[in-house]
Amino acid sequence: MRALVFETFGGPLTVREVPAPDPAPGGVVVRVGASGICRSDWHAWQGHDPDVVVPHVPGHELAGTVTAVGRDVRRWRVGDRVTVPFVNACGACAQCAAGDPQVCPHQTQPGFTHWGSLAEFVALDAADVNLVALPDELGLATAAALGCRFATAFRAVVQIARVQAGEWVAVHGCGGVGLSAVQIAAAAGARVVAVDVAEGALALARQFGAEHTVAGGGDGVADRVTELTGGGAHVSLDALGAAATCENSVRSLRPRGRHVQVGLLPPAQGRPAVPMERVIALELQVLGSHGMAAHAYPELLGLIAAGRLRPQELVTRELGLDEAGAALADVGRTPGIAVVTSF
Ligand SMILES: [Zn+2]
Ligand SMILES: [Zn+2]
Protein backbone atom coordinates (compact mmCIF):
# COMPACT_ATOMS: atom_id res chain seq x y z
CA MET A 1 0.00 0.00 0.00
CA ARG A 2 1.00 3.65 -0.33
CA ALA A 3 1.84 5.38 2.95
CA LEU A 4 3.49 8.54 4.26
CA VAL A 5 6.66 7.37 6.04
CA PHE A 6 9.41 8.97 8.10
CA GLU A 7 12.62 7.05 8.83
CA THR A 8 14.11 9.50 11.33
CA PHE A 9 12.54 11.99 13.74
CA GLY A 10 12.23 15.32 12.01
CA GLY A 11 13.58 13.72 8.79
CA PRO A 12 12.04 13.51 5.31
CA LEU A 13 8.33 12.64 5.02
CA THR A 14 8.00 10.53 1.88
CA VAL A 15 5.21 8.56 0.25
CA ARG A 16 6.28 5.00 -0.62
CA GLU A 17 5.05 1.40 -0.85
CA VAL A 18 4.95 -0.50 2.46
CA PRO A 19 3.31 -3.81 3.45
CA ALA A 20 -0.43 -3.48 4.14
CA PRO A 21 -1.54 -4.55 7.65
CA ASP A 22 -3.50 -7.67 8.66
CA PRO A 23 -6.20 -7.47 11.34
CA ALA A 24 -5.48 -8.62 14.92
CA PRO A 25 -7.93 -11.29 16.19
CA GLY A 26 -10.07 -8.57 17.82
CA GLY A 27 -9.26 -5.89 15.27
CA VAL A 28 -10.10 -4.75 11.76
CA VAL A 29 -8.34 -3.21 8.80
CA VAL A 30 -9.93 -0.08 7.37
CA ARG A 31 -9.43 1.36 3.89
CA VAL A 32 -8.81 4.99 4.76
CA GLY A 33 -11.21 7.38 3.04
CA ALA A 34 -10.01 10.47 4.88
CA SER A 35 -7.27 11.26 7.38
CA GLY A 36 -6.80 14.63 9.05
CA ILE A 37 -3.42 16.19 9.70
CA CYS A 38 -3.09 17.27 13.33
CA ARG A 39 -0.51 18.82 15.61
CA SER A 40 -0.16 15.44 17.38
CA ASP A 41 1.13 13.98 14.09
CA TRP A 42 3.70 16.76 14.05
CA HIS A 43 4.74 15.86 17.64
CA ALA A 44 5.09 12.19 16.57
CA TRP A 45 7.31 13.21 13.64
CA GLN A 46 9.40 15.46 15.88
CA GLY A 47 10.08 12.58 18.30
CA HIS A 48 8.12 14.08 21.20
CA ASP A 49 6.09 10.90 21.77
CA PRO A 50 7.98 8.02 23.42
CA ASP A 51 5.52 5.48 21.88
CA VAL A 52 6.66 6.19 18.33
CA VAL A 53 9.30 3.90 16.77
CA VAL A 54 10.80 4.59 13.32
CA PRO A 55 10.21 3.87 10.51
CA HIS A 56 6.73 5.20 11.17
CA VAL A 57 3.48 6.05 9.40
CA PRO A 58 1.62 8.91 11.17
CA GLY A 59 -2.12 9.66 11.10
CA HIS A 60 -4.83 9.15 13.72
CA GLU A 61 -7.89 11.16 12.65
CA LEU A 62 -9.55 8.83 10.24
CA ALA A 63 -12.70 7.59 8.64
CA GLY A 64 -13.09 4.80 6.12
CA THR A 65 -14.52 1.43 5.22
CA VAL A 66 -13.82 -1.90 6.91
CA THR A 67 -11.99 -4.27 4.50
CA ALA A 68 -10.89 -7.12 6.82
CA VAL A 69 -12.22 -8.38 10.14
CA GLY A 70 -10.37 -10.40 12.82
CA ARG A 71 -11.83 -13.76 13.85
CA ASP A 72 -13.05 -12.54 17.28
CA VAL A 73 -14.87 -9.41 16.05
CA ARG A 74 -18.65 -9.58 16.52
CA ARG A 75 -20.09 -6.13 15.73
CA TRP A 76 -18.45 -5.21 12.41
CA ARG A 77 -18.50 -6.46 8.80
CA VAL A 78 -16.57 -5.73 5.63
CA GLY A 79 -18.09 -2.63 4.02
CA ASP A 80 -19.09 -0.82 7.24
CA ARG A 81 -18.30 2.92 7.22
CA VAL A 82 -16.56 3.80 10.47
CA THR A 83 -14.48 6.24 12.45
CA VAL A 84 -12.61 5.68 15.71
CA PRO A 85 -11.40 7.78 18.65
CA PHE A 86 -7.61 8.22 18.60
CA VAL A 87 -7.50 6.31 21.90
CA ASN A 88 -8.28 2.65 21.13
CA ALA A 89 -9.15 1.14 24.50
CA CYS A 90 -8.70 -2.49 25.57
CA GLY A 91 -12.32 -2.96 26.65
CA ALA A 92 -11.34 -5.24 29.54
CA CYS A 93 -9.75 -3.13 32.32
CA ALA A 94 -11.28 -1.27 35.27
CA GLN A 95 -11.30 2.10 33.43
CA CYS A 96 -13.03 0.58 30.42
CA ALA A 97 -15.58 -1.15 32.68
CA ALA A 98 -16.25 2.19 34.40
CA GLY A 99 -17.09 3.77 31.03
CA ASP A 100 -13.84 5.72 30.71
CA PRO A 101 -11.99 4.06 27.83
CA GLN A 102 -10.36 7.39 26.92
CA VAL A 103 -7.95 6.84 29.84
CA CYS A 104 -7.48 3.08 29.38
CA PRO A 105 -3.96 2.16 30.56
CA HIS A 106 -3.71 -0.54 27.86
CA GLN A 107 -4.75 1.72 24.99
CA THR A 108 -3.30 1.66 21.51
CA GLN A 109 -3.27 4.68 19.22
CA PRO A 110 -3.01 4.40 15.44
CA GLY A 111 -0.26 6.72 14.27
CA PHE A 112 1.57 6.46 17.62
CA THR A 113 1.74 2.94 19.08
CA HIS A 114 1.53 1.45 15.58
CA TRP A 115 1.33 2.66 11.99
CA GLY A 116 -1.42 5.18 11.36
CA SER A 117 -3.88 6.38 8.76
CA LEU A 118 -1.84 8.54 6.39
CA ALA A 119 -1.86 5.41 4.25
CA GLU A 120 -4.28 3.43 2.12
CA PHE A 121 -5.04 1.01 4.99
CA VAL A 122 -4.82 1.13 8.78
CA ALA A 123 -5.20 -1.59 11.44
CA LEU A 124 -7.41 -0.83 14.45
CA ASP A 125 -7.41 -2.89 17.66
CA ALA A 126 -10.35 -4.05 19.81
CA ALA A 127 -12.84 -3.12 17.10
CA ASP A 128 -15.96 -4.06 19.07
CA VAL A 129 -14.98 -1.52 21.76
CA ASN A 130 -13.64 1.29 19.62
CA LEU A 131 -15.30 1.60 16.23
CA VAL A 132 -18.10 4.09 15.66
CA ALA A 133 -20.60 3.57 12.82
CA LEU A 134 -21.05 6.58 10.56
CA PRO A 135 -24.44 7.74 9.31
CA ASP A 136 -24.62 7.57 5.49
CA GLU A 137 -25.14 11.32 5.20
CA LEU A 138 -21.89 12.16 7.08
CA GLY A 139 -19.01 12.55 4.62
CA LEU A 140 -15.71 10.80 5.36
CA ALA A 141 -13.69 14.05 5.34
CA THR A 142 -15.93 15.53 8.03
CA ALA A 143 -16.00 12.27 9.98
CA ALA A 144 -12.19 12.14 10.03
CA ALA A 145 -12.11 15.35 12.07
CA LEU A 146 -14.40 13.76 14.68
CA GLY A 147 -11.81 11.15 15.70
CA CYS A 148 -9.50 13.65 17.27
CA ARG A 149 -10.06 17.34 17.17
CA PHE A 150 -13.83 17.80 17.10
CA ALA A 151 -14.56 14.98 19.56
CA THR A 152 -11.74 16.13 21.83
CA ALA A 153 -13.16 19.66 21.82
CA PHE A 154 -16.68 18.35 22.43
CA ARG A 155 -15.58 16.37 25.47
CA ALA A 156 -13.52 19.29 26.81
CA VAL A 157 -16.34 21.85 26.48
CA VAL A 158 -19.44 19.76 27.19
CA GLN A 159 -18.35 16.84 29.38
CA ILE A 160 -15.27 18.11 31.27
CA ALA A 161 -15.89 21.88 31.59
CA ARG A 162 -19.69 21.48 31.59
CA VAL A 163 -20.06 24.88 29.91
CA GLN A 164 -23.41 26.54 30.59
CA ALA A 165 -25.32 29.05 28.43
CA GLY A 166 -24.24 32.59 29.25
CA GLU A 167 -20.81 31.63 30.57
CA TRP A 168 -17.66 33.18 29.15
CA VAL A 169 -15.29 30.69 27.50
CA ALA A 170 -11.74 31.66 26.50
CA VAL A 171 -10.07 29.51 23.85
CA HIS A 172 -6.28 29.87 23.66
CA GLY A 173 -5.03 28.60 20.30
CA CYS A 174 -7.36 28.41 17.30
CA GLY A 175 -6.05 25.46 15.32
CA GLY A 176 -8.37 22.54 14.59
CA VAL A 177 -9.23 21.71 18.19
CA GLY A 178 -9.52 25.38 19.20
CA LEU A 179 -11.83 26.29 16.33
CA SER A 180 -13.92 23.20 17.13
CA ALA A 181 -14.14 24.37 20.75
CA VAL A 182 -15.23 27.84 19.63
CA GLN A 183 -18.06 26.39 17.56
CA ILE A 184 -19.15 23.92 20.25
CA ALA A 185 -19.06 26.49 23.07
CA ALA A 186 -21.01 29.02 20.98
CA ALA A 187 -23.60 26.33 20.15
CA ALA A 188 -23.93 25.68 23.90
CA GLY A 189 -24.88 29.33 24.37
CA ALA A 190 -21.57 30.43 25.82
CA ARG A 191 -19.88 33.73 24.97
CA VAL A 192 -16.50 33.02 23.45
CA VAL A 193 -13.20 34.92 23.45
CA ALA A 194 -10.71 33.39 21.00
CA VAL A 195 -6.94 33.93 21.21
CA ASP A 196 -4.38 33.18 18.51
CA VAL A 197 -1.23 34.69 17.03
CA ALA A 198 -2.59 34.41 13.46
CA GLU A 199 -5.22 36.84 12.17
CA GLY A 200 -6.47 34.18 9.72
CA ALA A 201 -7.24 31.85 12.62
CA LEU A 202 -9.03 34.65 14.48
CA ALA A 203 -11.12 35.43 11.39
CA LEU A 204 -12.24 31.78 11.32
CA ALA A 205 -12.94 31.93 15.07
CA ARG A 206 -15.26 34.90 14.54
CA GLN A 207 -16.97 33.01 11.72
CA PHE A 208 -17.52 30.04 14.08
CA GLY A 209 -19.08 32.17 16.81
CA ALA A 210 -16.38 33.96 18.82
CA GLU A 211 -17.73 37.25 20.18
CA HIS A 212 -14.27 38.72 20.75
CA THR A 213 -10.80 37.87 19.48
CA VAL A 214 -7.46 38.69 21.07
CA ALA A 215 -4.07 38.70 19.32
CA GLY A 216 -1.92 36.14 21.13
CA GLY A 217 1.80 36.22 21.82
CA GLY A 218 3.44 38.76 24.07
CA ASP A 219 2.26 39.95 27.47
CA GLY A 220 -1.20 41.12 28.36
CA VAL A 221 -3.29 38.32 26.81
CA ALA A 222 -4.81 37.25 30.13
CA ASP A 223 -5.46 40.87 31.16
CA ARG A 224 -7.26 41.49 27.86
CA VAL A 225 -9.43 38.38 28.30
CA THR A 226 -10.20 39.42 31.89
CA GLU A 227 -11.24 42.88 30.70
CA LEU A 228 -13.44 41.59 27.85
CA THR A 229 -15.20 39.09 30.11
CA GLY A 230 -15.87 41.50 32.98
CA GLY A 231 -13.54 39.83 35.46
CA GLY A 232 -12.29 36.65 33.80
CA ALA A 233 -13.65 33.69 31.90
CA HIS A 234 -15.72 30.99 33.61
CA VAL A 235 -13.93 28.40 31.49
CA SER A 236 -10.62 28.65 29.68
CA LEU A 237 -9.03 26.08 27.38
CA ASP A 238 -5.41 25.69 26.33
CA ALA A 239 -6.22 24.28 22.91
CA LEU A 240 -2.66 24.63 21.59
CA GLY A 241 -0.53 22.95 24.22
CA ALA A 242 2.35 25.29 25.02
CA ALA A 243 3.81 26.68 28.22
CA ALA A 244 2.61 30.22 27.40
CA THR A 245 -0.94 29.30 26.35
CA CYS A 246 -1.38 27.05 29.40
CA GLU A 247 -0.27 29.80 31.77
CA ASN A 248 -2.36 32.45 29.97
CA SER A 249 -5.38 30.16 30.15
CA VAL A 250 -5.11 29.75 33.93
CA ARG A 251 -4.55 33.51 34.34
CA SER A 252 -7.65 34.28 32.20
CA LEU A 253 -10.05 32.78 34.74
CA ARG A 254 -12.37 34.47 37.20
CA PRO A 255 -12.64 33.09 40.75
CA ARG A 256 -13.83 29.44 40.74
CA GLY A 257 -13.13 29.20 37.00
CA ARG A 258 -12.22 25.96 35.19
CA HIS A 259 -9.07 25.52 33.10
CA VAL A 260 -9.14 22.61 30.68
CA GLN A 261 -5.86 21.34 29.20
CA VAL A 262 -6.64 20.06 25.71
CA GLY A 263 -3.46 20.62 23.70
CA LEU A 264 -0.65 18.14 24.28
CA LEU A 265 2.26 19.40 26.39
CA PRO A 266 5.24 17.17 25.58
CA PRO A 267 7.91 17.81 28.25
CA ALA A 268 10.52 18.04 25.45
CA GLN A 269 9.06 21.47 24.66
CA GLY A 270 9.27 22.71 28.26
CA ARG A 271 6.81 22.50 31.15
CA PRO A 272 4.36 25.35 31.82
CA ALA A 273 4.66 27.53 34.91
CA VAL A 274 1.10 27.05 36.22
CA PRO A 275 0.38 29.84 38.77
CA MET A 276 -0.71 27.49 41.57
CA GLU A 277 -1.06 30.45 43.98
CA ARG A 278 -4.04 31.56 41.87
CA VAL A 279 -5.41 28.02 41.76
CA ILE A 280 -5.72 28.01 45.55
CA ALA A 281 -6.62 31.65 46.17
CA LEU A 282 -9.35 31.71 43.49
CA GLU A 283 -10.43 28.07 43.96
CA LEU A 284 -9.70 27.34 40.30
CA GLN A 285 -10.15 23.90 38.82
CA VAL A 286 -7.42 22.48 36.58
CA LEU A 287 -8.83 19.71 34.41
CA GLY A 288 -7.47 17.41 31.72
CA SER A 289 -9.38 16.18 28.67
CA HIS A 290 -8.11 13.26 26.56
CA GLY A 291 -10.07 12.40 23.43
CA MET A 292 -13.58 11.02 23.84
CA ALA A 293 -15.02 7.55 24.41
CA ALA A 294 -16.57 5.73 21.44
CA HIS A 295 -19.79 5.32 23.44
CA ALA A 296 -20.13 9.11 23.70
CA TYR A 297 -20.20 9.64 19.92
CA PRO A 298 -23.98 9.17 19.38
CA GLU A 299 -24.75 12.41 21.27
CA LEU A 300 -22.23 14.26 19.11
CA LEU A 301 -23.46 12.64 15.87
CA GLY A 302 -27.03 13.57 16.82
CA LEU A 303 -26.12 17.25 17.21
CA ILE A 304 -24.36 17.16 13.83
CA ALA A 305 -27.35 15.48 12.14
CA ALA A 306 -29.61 18.14 13.65
CA GLY A 307 -27.38 20.90 12.24
CA ARG A 308 -26.53 22.27 15.70
CA LEU A 309 -22.83 21.50 15.16
CA ARG A 310 -21.13 21.85 11.77
CA PRO A 311 -17.71 20.16 11.71
CA GLN A 312 -17.80 20.20 7.91
CA GLU A 313 -17.15 23.97 8.04
CA LEU A 314 -13.85 23.35 9.81
CA VAL A 315 -12.41 21.29 6.96
CA THR A 316 -10.80 24.06 4.94
CA ARG A 317 -8.42 21.98 2.75
CA GLU A 318 -8.67 18.54 1.10
CA LEU A 319 -5.32 17.12 -0.01
CA GLY A 320 -3.82 14.12 -1.79
CA LEU A 321 -1.41 11.83 0.10
CA ASP A 322 1.50 13.25 -1.90
CA GLU A 323 0.81 16.68 -0.35
CA ALA A 324 0.49 15.31 3.19
CA GLY A 325 4.17 15.48 4.14
CA ALA A 326 4.45 19.18 3.38
CA ALA A 327 1.17 19.88 5.21
CA LEU A 328 2.35 17.92 8.25
CA ALA A 329 5.70 19.72 8.38
CA ASP A 330 3.77 23.00 8.13
CA VAL A 331 1.15 22.33 10.85
CA GLY A 332 -0.13 25.51 12.41
CA ARG A 333 0.92 27.84 9.56
CA THR A 334 -2.34 27.60 7.57
CA PRO A 335 -5.56 28.15 9.54
CA GLY A 336 -8.35 25.55 9.49
CA ILE A 337 -8.26 21.74 9.21
CA ALA A 338 -6.45 19.90 6.40
CA VAL A 339 -7.72 16.41 5.52
CA VAL A 340 -6.16 13.93 3.09
CA THR A 341 -8.96 12.51 0.95
CA SER A 342 -7.11 10.80 -1.92
CA PHE A 343 -4.52 8.09 -1.43
ZN1 LIG B 1 -9.01 -0.70 29.07
ZN1 LIG C 1 -5.25 14.74 16.43
287 and 160 Cβ atoms separated by less than 8 Å: yes
CATH 3.40.50.300 assigned to 151-288:
no
pLDDT at 77: 98
**pLDDT above 70: percentage of residues in the chain:** 100
Q: Which numbered ligand comes closest to the C-alpha of 36? A: 2
- Does 243 have pLDDT greater than 80? yes
Q: Which numbered ligand comes closest to the C-alpha of 43? A: 2
For residue 89, report the distance from its CA to the centre of ligand 1, in Å: 5
Largest CA distance in the chain: 59
Instruction: Tell me the mean pLDDT in the region 189-200.
Output: 97
Looking at residue 74, its amino acid is R
For residue 108, report the distance from its CA to the centre of ligand 1, in Å: 10
pLDDT one-digit tens code per residue, 305-340:
999 999 999 898 999 999 999 999 999 888 888 999
Under CATH, what is the fold of the domain 2-149+292-342? Quinone Oxidoreductase; Chain A, domain 1 (3.90.180)
Q: Which numbered ligand comes closest to the C-alpha of 42? A: 2
Number of neighbouring beta carbons within 10 Å of residue 91: 18
For residue 152, report the distance from its CA to the centre of ligand 2, in Å: 9
| 5 phi/psi in degrees, rounded to 5 | -125, 140
The reported pTM is 0.93
| 199 phi/psi in degrees, rounded to 5 | -65, -35
Looking at residue 314, its amino acid is L
For residue 148, report the distance from its CA to the centre of ligand 2, in Å: 4
CATH 3.40.50.720 residue ranges of the chain are: 151-288
CATH 3.90.180.10 residue ranges of the chain are: 2-149+292-342
Q: Which long-range contacts (CB under 8 A, 24 or more apart) does 158-161 make?
A: 158/184, 158/188, 159/289, 159/292, 159/296, 160/260, 160/287, 160/288, 160/289, 161/235, 161/237, 161/258, 161/260, 161/287
For residue 317, report the distance from its CA to the centre of ligand 2, in Å: 16
Do the bridges between strand 168-172 and strand 233-238 make them parallel or antiparallel, or are there none, so unpaired? parallel
Q: Which numbered ligand comes closest to the C-alpha of 125? A: 1
**291 beta partners:** none
Q: Which numbered ligand comes closest to the C-alpha of 103? A: 1
Helix extents (H) in 13-150: 39-46, 94-97, 127-130, 140-145
pLDDT one-digit tens code per residue, 248-271:
999 999 999 999 999 999 888 889
pLDDT one-digit tens code per residue, 149-179:
999 999 999 999 999 999 999 999 999 999 9
**pLDDT above 90: percentage of residues in the chain:** 92
For residue 274, report the distance from its CA to the centre of ligand 1, in Å: 30
Report the distance separating Cα 31 and Cα 50, nearest Å. Answer: 27
